A and B are shown apart, each in its own frame.
Chain A
């Protein structure tokens, strides 16, 4: 068989299909992207919390972007317990020093990394948090120690605006 010659018609067919595909994609994308977080949701991206009333050994739970954030003022024992853990014992190795820059304050999303439930305070085998949904245990640094959750509880971006106020986000 002789080699197939590219005809004018083939070229037109390919070009039309290509332009059509680009056009379809241009129409489909807005339909998909409209489901992403809108401007009003993004506008609520940061929140300021007064933590002056929080005493050591207590946790404040605030809502940020529709999710609970745990602000824990840790006791010295909790800090010591979190810092003496060996990295090789951790499922998701992270140093407590990196998770809590100011060791007294642990700020993290109160969302279990398994399927998104809110873990319970002062529960579980590691004196930290326990998720009642599928049994994940977290330590005093909010790191996953036992159970199906794959990661430690997430530390969001936050900063101390002054001694008594934390800005999350």
Chain B
């Protein structure tokens, strides 16, 4: 049924809906026709929404106890851990929640890469997603600075110093970011402000992301355009709501494992030492979710070019819809792309591993090869593959391969004719 046909049953509902069509929106979200073949990789959108809300709620409660001042921040975090009722729980949920958020977003991004969800007509959804991802990284980085431990301080120093690589104005920009001549109290207070602001920007962008999604509708594992509503779709409620809910429960088990059994395993012990501007920890590493980009930064021996390579590695994703020249969306029907996809997954995992290791000897060599391959994948392999690859026949509808018993159109047709 179309959105325009909807009319609330009750008089009051009609009166309200004529003035503010919120009930039409609710009806649209409930009936929203969804491809019936969505697998569990499609449940991470809902999981990410849960993560964002969890971070906002726990963040708000932490902010009631945290003090954003260089002399008191570290102590106030310990105060939250020891004195505040359930402070330890709220802080551990918030700290591990950041990691869970990134875990989910990486699965969400790689699902898009596999099934070609970034391709026409979904480019704007994809680009909004990349902006959300960038904001997530900014929020996570600034949040990590707030406890004012050694990793907070030196992580902030190293990352803000990236801007000093910009010719001529770089030093001025860094001083401006710091509000002084080093990372200090003015830096902490502004990071707190921005850390508070960014989640709400993300929330706004998530609304746009979903709005843009609801224009063409979901992509699906087969990657074909489907008629909506039709035999190929099911209403969002209750079908997808239940499926998303079940996946969310599974995800929460993993989440709870970290919070209750290994709350510090993803963090770094040095951050339980208060910030000291006179001593740099022997080995500075960012949080795990930034390691691949950190490896790219360190693999380039030149300071400016290293920063450029790291930023390009992220921004190249924004132009991905135009780098991938293949008309076929799903990797299911792209035998060569499917292999390159898994090589890319391995490449990013390798980058993450060497990012955590010291930048010397064999690690450095591996990092350089992996960095080169990362760019090769997006700049050479994807554009060329679209022209060279012989793709498999794509079914005309979601129902067809199911009824035909084979994802291969020719085989399915063949079978049908035999049955007749």
Contacts and interface: CB of A to CB of B under 8 A. Distances in A.
Interface of A: 32, 35-38, 41, 61, 63, 65-68, 114-118, 131-135, 148-150
A116 B158 contact: yes
Given A37-B180, A41-B179, A133 B278 contact: no
A133 B176 contact: no
Contacts of A115: 157-158, 161-162
B76 interface: no
A65 B180 CA distance: 8
A53 to B, nearest CB: 18
17 contacts: A37-B178, A41-B179, A41-B181, A63-B277, A63-B278, A66-B277, A68-B277, A116-B158, A116-B164, A117-B157, A117-B158, A131-B280, A133-B158, A133-B284, A134-B298, A135-B358, A149-B303
B161 A41 contact: no
Nearest to B278: A68
B277 A135 contact: no
A68 B304 CA distance: 24
A116 B303 contact: no
Interface in B166-222: 175-184, 186, 190
A27 B52 CA distance: 33
A41 B180 contact: yes
A103 B182 CA distance: 28
A118 B279 contact: yes
- The interface residues of chain A, by DSSP majority, are classed as loop
A68 B153 CA distance: 14
Nearest to A169: B181
Residue of A63, A66, A67, A118 with most chain B CB atoms under a 10 A cut-off: A66
Contacts of B178: 37
A61 B279 CA distance: 10
A159 B282 CA distance: 32
Given A35-B190, A37-B181, A38-B186, A118 B176 contact: no
B9 interface: no
A65 B279 CA distance: 15
Given A66-B277, A118-B279, A148 B157 contact: no
Contacts of B157: 115-117
B184 A66 contact: yes
B301 interface: yes
Given A115-B158, A116-B157, A132 B179 contact: no
Nearest to B306: A148
B388 interface: no
A61 B190 CA distance: 28
A133 B186 CA distance: 24
For B178, B181, B302, B360, which residue has the most chain A Cβ atoms within 10 angstroms? B181
A41 B186 CA distance: 9
A29 to B, nearest CB: 12
B154 interface: yes
B348 to A, nearest CB: 21
A61 B301 CA distance: 29
Contacts of B158: 115-117, 133
For the complex of A and B, list the 9 residue pairs with the smallest distance between their C-beta atoms, beginning with the closest.
Answer: A66-B182, A65-B181, A116-B161, A117-B280, A115-B161, A115-B158, A118-B280, A116-B157, A41-B180
B359 interface: yes
Contact of A132 (B161, B283, B304): B283
Given A37-B181, A41-B180, A148-B306, 10 more contacts: A35-B177, A35-B186, A37-B186, A65-B181, A65-B182, A66-B277, A133-B284, A148-B298, A148-B302, A150-B302
A102 to B, nearest CB: 25
Given A35-B176, A148-B302, A66 B183 contact: yes
A46 B177 CA distance: 22
